[in-house]
Amino acid sequence: MITTPTNESQVIENFIKKLLAHLDECNVDKLQLFPTLFDQHSCKIIVNSQPFAQPAAFIQTWLQQVVATQHSITSIDFHTIPGTNTVICNVNCKVRFEESGRDRSGADSAILVSSSTPSSRNNMHSKGSLPSRNQRIWGSYYGVSIQIVLHANIFTDNPPAGVIAGLNYNFVYKPEDSLITI
């Protein structure tokens, strides 16, 4: 398959959307293809300066200890590095967290809820309008910067497998009214 710059842009954009959709997915059964995106032998993953030895450890931590999320892409920039068979992607996006205090499976989350909540949320809860257990309460958006190192076979493999060689996920902005402590 011959790729053009337009095709490459579409491939990268679709792949990034797929990656973020996997991070947002709450149904563990639907995530069977997620680990196959990572190069299982040499992938390096860092989240807010915390390294993960294996992609499986990152995925397990994300699924078990992070509440439900919603990512929204604001920009994508990528460059193919000649002679290295790699593509470097810089993704800027927003993410917001479900702030009811439950994880993806409905159990208490490992991310702590701040003890000092904004007065508007205190008033909401004090009036007896507590949300039901299954109702999602979305917080404000955080700013996120993601750098991804991909193998260039992302342009030829369909579906892409083992193409993520590195992932660096950093929070660059925390809203003041967020209940989540990261």
Series of mean pLDDT values for 10-residue runs along the chain (182 residues): 74 97 88 90 95 93 89 98 96 94 66 48 44 74 98 91 97 91 78
CB 164 within 8 A of CB 150: yes
Q: How many structural domains does the chain have?
A: 1
CB 136 within 8 A of CB 75: no
Residue 182 falls inside a structural domain: no
CB 68 within 8 A of CB 24: yes
Question: Looking at residue 125, what is its pLDDT?
Answer: 43
Q: Report the CATH number that the domain containing residue 109 is assigned in CATH.
A: 3.10.450.50
Residue 71 falls inside a structural domain: yes
166 vs 148: CA distance, rounded Å: 6
| 63, 52, 172, 102 alpha-carbon torsion, rounded to 10° | 20
180 vs 67: CA distance, rounded Å: 9
Residue 67 falls inside a structural domain: yes
Residue 129 falls inside a structural domain: no
Question: Looking at residue 31, what is its pLDDT?
Answer: 82
135 vs 87: CA distance, rounded Å: 40
Q: Token digits for 93?
A: 């996006």
CB 98 within 8 A of CB 135: no
Question: Looking at residue 133, what is its pLDDT?
Answer: 54
Residue 111 falls inside a structural domain: yes
Question: Looking at residue 109, what is its pLDDT?
Answer: 57
Residue 138 falls inside a structural domain: yes
Residue 139 falls inside a structural domain: yes
Question: Looking at residue 117, what is its pLDDT?
Answer: 46
Element (H or E) spanning 58, and its range?
helix 55-65
